[in-house]
Amino acid sequence: MSQLAMVIDLNRCVGCHACAIACRAEWAVPVPYRRNWVKRLGPDATPKGLSFTFYPGLCNHCDDPKCTTVCPVDPEERVFKSKSGKTKKLAIRATYKDPFTGVVLVDKERCIGCGNCVEACPYGARYLNEELDDPKADKCTFCVERMAYNLEPACVRTCISGARIFGDLSDSSSAVYKIVNSGKAIRLQSKEVAIGPNVYYIGKDKDILLLKEKCTPHERKWENVKVPMRRGILKAAIRKLAKAV
Amino acid sequence: MKRRNFLKLSASACAALAALELKDKTIFKAAYAKTAATSPQLPGSLGAKEIPSVCEMCFWRCPIVGKVKDKKLVKIEGNPKSPANGPRVCARGNSGVQLLYDPDRIKYPLKRTGERGEGKWARISWDEALDEVAHNLKEVKKKYGPHALAYFDHGASAEFMRDIFKTLGSENYTNEPAFYQCVGPAALAYLKTYGYITTGTRQYVDMQNAKAMLLVGTHIGENVHVSHVREFIQGLQNGAKLVVVDPRFSAAAAKADIYLPIRPGTDTALLLAWMNFIITENLYDKDFVQKHCSGFDELKKAVKKYTLQWASPICDLPVEDMKKAILLLAKNSPHVSIHPGRHSTWYGRGDTSRHQALAILAALFGAVGVKGGLYFPTPVKKGHVSFGCAEEEPETPSKSISEDYYPFASTFGSPTSKIIEATRTANPYPIKLWGINGVNIIQTIPNPYQTMEAIKNLDFIFCEEILPTETAIWSDIVLPGATYLERYDSVYTYDLLTPYLTVRQPVVEPMFETKSSFWIARELAKRIGLKCFNYNNEIEFIEEELKGAGLTLKGLNKKGGIVAYEPNPYRSSKDFKVATESGKVQLSIEDFADEDLDPIPRFVPTPAPPKGYVRLVYGRSPVHTFSRTMNNKWLHNEVPENPLWVNDELAKQVGIKDGDEVVLENQDGYRSWPIKVKVTPGIRPDTAYMVHGFGSRSKALSKAYKQGVSDQFMITEYEDDPFMGASSHRTNFIRLVKAGKVINLPELCPPPKEIPRFSAKKTKTGGK
């Protein structure tokens, strides 16, 4: 099965934030929400020396996404088609993982804007766009819309130093496959949060140490969604009601 | 719960998903131009009309395309045809959209109604604004002579209006802070050593083919120029070794193989000791030196006294580390990039010499005109355009504020500090009118208190501006300029490793009542009565420039707005020639000796911090350009303020924690607004660092106002470079004030006896 993935090379990254802004421009993401970010880390001491590095982050399109499990919208059956003609029938909520690309997407038509998925993501990769009259959850799509026109994701296209490598992990000739299977790339996950993120990082030992120390999620946020879930749904309902009035 | 009636994805997303093609790894290689047809209904920036142009969020000027949907600019990307940056632009380039649509933009011509600096304005017509500027230019010239007019200029918008000041006959027709507050000393040193400006706006250093690189105080990565960063990273990817010399652990230092945390102000000591070392150890390129350099014997003699043992306590670096670094560079010579640096107005005295030392080091390694070394520009031909303005230099006054003070100032204009001094004191002659274009002088020139005092002495001050900066609020008339996205400028050529020719052209119509810089200059010239700018519009002279390159605007746009050329950066030993007077690389500069200046660099220490203080240094954030971008919605959101970096050991000793809020007090008693502290081992204990350009004092900048702290308002003490009159920016010291209590900072790296201590003068005006 295909899985789109990204490897970010911290040896190449200079922390210029072009990725974050190109994404904002491409998808008109309103400030202060973000689908794509750069966090500046250090300079800090590590056991491998002084490190000053970056956490360029985006949705991880996880193997086992938890954001899709907290969506309260009733599942609906949908037939997914691959380019080669294969089909697969799945019952999906308003946010789901595409079985043929591995990309986690939001079905904006059905999203009720309750914010559960936003609360659930341990990476903080989602936001509820309250700038809209009818707020919706939103997030990185790996720019699947652009791929239809043979264009790489906006963040990859603008990356000034070529630090973002994008491709299909099921394709053994792809650069991402080669890097990930070399064992050099790391994923930001912990004992508590091990849901298979598909954004990988490579870099100097010291930089990877600092990145892991500062940015690995430990909180199983999706397990706390129960109460906010009701609150979120209520909020969404009130918002709708208010608009109707 | 009520479920939404889901039918299917929106038509466009559906089409996108259906067309997904994943198995081919060449998936993204299709030519960009052949993709989505222009169709504003497509998602994101897909289907936008693409107009090629040139960025000016900074002055590297990357080729771009503006992506326009329904007459609105939705996105900026690099011009995919550009051999330098391709489809890439940096965060600032991407954010040009928000300069264009900044709600704080100056929309109409404005006339000051309150006091200067108060920011009270009335909207006036273009006729009234231009008439008033023209009247004052004529009046001041009549009353005080042409030199009473001074022009502060920077960037493309400033170029046309410069001709007006020149034609009016002022010797002060250009005093670019970009030169006198930034690249001047380095540019002069390289011009005299190699006969061309190896570093100024651009740096001709072949990092992508280097086997080793040396950066002295240069922080590539925080200073982002796309093609330059790409070449740096490519060099590292190819396996080049990197030596970084910097009191602060910069983004570049983070990628270094050897990092030398040098004591500020002692770089020349290190460079001189390294020169002596490679000469004594016979590690220099004898063949290159013999064939292509002059002054070697003098150099050898002059640097003899500078040993690594001597430099060690001065630079606060172990001899072994210094030796390891120079051996690494020597081992990889001649394919070493001795980076010439860029911003070089650090300490006043010694700035030109420091860059001269870097220039000499490159020559000793033979790292010139070879792969990995300094290289030669590849000129790209374009047609010459004469606007009919004065082409001759204006007549100099009996006492010039340029050449009579600094022998090498006039090559580049009039020193900023001298303009301000003459305006304040009328000595040697009065300056009574300032025109300002493309530069926020209050946040650019040391001692803004002095600058504001000078402005009060003027009969008239006007500016062409895009945003209501401090400079705008100190002006009598503000002319609203169109941004680089709304105007033509001229044809741009790029003479680095990937030469090209391109043109700036509008991607959208000018907004509000803003006008192009050419239109403003032309209208102004007309009103003064100057026979100038004899073209009706920009397109007429752009066509003439293009004609010289065998092109037309239409033809160029058909090619995607850009034409690439073959580079010619290297020279064989047989063809090696430089454009100095001797035709050789000058290791000793006679022109300097003729003016009683050091022909060969000499170590002149800059005073160490007074007891209780640390040195204030500054640098750049990759998402900001000087003080120009702090009001940009997207960039402000990325980096809204500038924390003060304080050494962790020092912070511990005085009980300061990461995130604490403090006020800075400089050696003259001036105080800053509150600033957050970033505690880090990545800075020396005798130094504090912040990013330049924050802390705007203009209330009219709704996002930038009072965000972070201005380094400029802490820089009240400066010294001029004796060669060309540039002002120093790293000669100020701060201590901290926390919760109203002054904290004296302990001295963890005391200077050796060779370095005198700065003696604080009496507090100037009681502090602010």
Q: What residues form DSSP beta bridges with B563? A: B501
Q: Say how many CA atoms lie within 13 Å of B104 toward its Cβ.
A: 20
Is the model's pLDDT at B523 over the cut of 60?
yes
Residues recorded for chain A: 245
Mean pLDDT of chain B: 93
AA identity, residue B699: K
Is-contact B220 B252, C-beta < 8 A? yes
Contact yes or no for A52 and B221 at CB 8 A: no
**Chain A contacts of B77, Cβ < 8 Å?**
22, 157-158
Is-contact B508 B66, C-beta < 8 A? yes
B94 touches chain A (CB under 8 A): yes
Contact yes or no for B30 and A45 at CB 8 A: no
Contact yes or no for B233 and A38 at CB 8 A: no
In Å, how far are A191, B124, B458, B482, B648 from B109, measured between CA atoms?
62, 6, 20, 12, 50
- Whether the link from the prior residue into A43 is cis, omega within 30° of 0, is yes
Please report the pLDDT score of residue A238 as a whole number.
80
pTM of the predicted protein model: 0.94
Is the model's pLDDT at B15 over the cut of 60?
no
B637 touches chain A (CB under 8 A): yes
Is the model's pLDDT at B588 over the cut of 70?
yes
Is-contact B664 B618, C-beta < 8 A? no
pLDDT in tens, B166-207: 999 999 999 999 999 999 999 999 999 999 999 999 999 999
pLDDT band for position A227 (cuts 50, 70, 90): low
**Chain B contacts of A175, Cβ < 8 Å?**
25
A184 touches chain B (CB under 8 A): no
Contact yes or no for A74 and B85 at CB 8 A: no
β-strands B477-480, B460-465 pairing? parallel
% of chain B residues with pLDDT over 70: 94
Is-contact A26 B75, C-beta < 8 A? yes
pLDDT band for position A228 (cuts 50, 70, 90): low
β-strands B110-112, B121-123 pairing? antiparallel
Contact yes or no for A101 and B255 at CB 8 A: no
pLDDT band for position B295 (cuts 50, 70, 90): very high
AA identity, residue B732: N
Distance CA B569, CA B210 (A): 14
Distance CA B524, CA B467 (A): 21
Sheet hosting strand B149-153, strand order edge to edge: B121-123, B110-112, B477-480, B460-465, B433-437, B149-153
Structure letter (DSSP) for residue B672: -
Please report the pLDDT score of residue A235 as a whole number.
76
Please report the pLDDT score of residue B761 as a whole number.
61
Average pLDDT over residues B382-401: 92
AA identity, residue B360: I
A148 touches chain B (CB under 8 A): yes
Average pLDDT over residues B550-569: 98
pLDDT band for position A231 (cuts 50, 70, 90): low
Assigned token pair, A205: 């030992």
Count CB pairs under 8 A between chains A and B.
Answer: 210
What torsion, rounded to 10 degrees, do the Cα atoms B576, B179, B95, A149 define? Answer: -10
Minimum distance, in Å, between the CA of residue A23 and any CA atom of chain B:
9
Is the model's pLDDT at B11 over the cut of 70?
no
**Chain B contacts of A38, Cβ < 8 Å?**
638
Please report the pLDDT score of residue A230 as a whole number.
65
Please report the pLDDT score of residue B397 as a whole number.
94
Of A110, A143, A149, nearest to B4 by CB-CB distance is A110
Please report the pLDDT score of residue B743 as a whole number.
98
Structure letter (DSSP) for residue B183: I
Q: If residue B453 lies in a helix (H) or strand (E), which one and from where to where?
A: helix B448-456
Structure letter (DSSP) for residue B429: S
Please report the pLDDT score of residue B411 as a whole number.
84
Assigned token pair, B206: 């072949």
A233 touches chain B (CB under 8 A): yes
DSSP B208-248: GG-SEEEEES--BTTB--HHHHHHHHHHHHTT-EEEEE-SB
Is the model's pLDDT at B157 over the cut of 90?
yes
Is-contact B630 B468, C-beta < 8 A? no
Question: 3-state secondary structure string, B160-182?
Answer: HHHHHHHHCCCCCCCCCHHHHHH
B113: burial class by Cβ within 10 Å (0-12, 13-18, 19+)?
exposed
Distance CA B42, CA B12 (A): 6
Q: What residues form DSSP beta bridges with B767? A: none
| Residue in chain B lying closest to A38 (CA) | B638
Of A50, A148, A168, nearest to B15 by CB-CB distance is A148
A133 touches chain B (CB under 8 A): no
Give me the helices (H) in chain A, please.
18-27, 116-120, 144-147, 154-158, 175-181, 205-215, 226-244
pLDDT in tens, A71-84: 999 999 999 998 88
Please report the pLDDT score of residue B25 as a whole number.
35
**CATH number of the structural domain spanning residue A48:** 3.30.70.20
Domains of chain B, start order: 11-100 (2.20.25.90), 181-375 (3.40.228.10), 614-743 (2.40.40.20)
**Chain B contacts of A3, Cβ < 8 Å?**
none
pLDDT in tens, B85-95: 999 999 999 99
A198 touches chain B (CB under 8 A): no
pLDDT in tens, A136-192: 999 999 999 999 899 999 999 999 999 999 999 999 999 999 999 999 999 999 999
pLDDT band for position A243 (cuts 50, 70, 90): confident
Range of the domain at A172: 4-244
**Chain B contacts of A150, Cβ < 8 Å?**
21, 27-30, 35
pLDDT band for position A241 (cuts 50, 70, 90): confident
- More confident position, B582 or B452: B452
pLDDT band for position B760 (cuts 50, 70, 90): low
Is-contact B77 A18, C-beta < 8 A? no
pLDDT in tens, A84-135: 889 999 999 999 999 999 999 999 999 999 999 999 999 999 999 999 999 9
Please report the pLDDT score of residue B14 as a whole number.
33
Please report the pLDDT score of residue B31 as a whole number.
34
Kindly tell me the sign of the dihedral angle through the C-alpha atoms of B408, B411, B416, B420. Answer: positive
B221 touches chain A (CB under 8 A): yes
% of chain B residues with pLDDT over 90: 91
Neighbours of A81 (CB within 10 A): 13
Contact yes or no for B95 and A151 at CB 8 A: no
pLDDT band for position A240 (cuts 50, 70, 90): confident
Please report the pLDDT score of residue A239 as a whole number.
77
Which range among A231-235, B193-197, B337-341 shows the weakest confidence by mean pLDDT? A231-235
- Residue bearing tokens 């004609």: B547
| Residue in chain B lying closest to A81 (CA) | B18
pLDDT in tens, B106-137: 999 999 999 999 999 999 999 999 999 999 99
Minimum distance, in Å, between the CA of residue B62 and any CA atom of chain A:
12
**Chain A contacts of B10, Cβ < 8 Å?**
108-109
In B, residues 8-27, which contact A (CB 8 Å cutoff)? 8-10, 12-13, 15-23, 25, 27
Contact yes or no for B634 and A101 at CB 8 A: no
Is the model's pLDDT at B631 over the cut of 50?
yes
Largest CA distance in chain B: 90
Burial of B429-463, coded b for 16+ CB within 10 Å and e otherwise, reads: bbbbbbbbbbbbbbbbbbbbbbbbebbeebbbbbb
Q: What is the ipTM score, two decimals?
A: 0.96
pLDDT in tens, B221-242: 999 999 999 999 999 999 999 9
Number of structural domains in chain A? 1
Average pLDDT over residues B643-654: 98
Distance CA B457, CA B718 (A): 21
A33 touches chain B (CB under 8 A): no
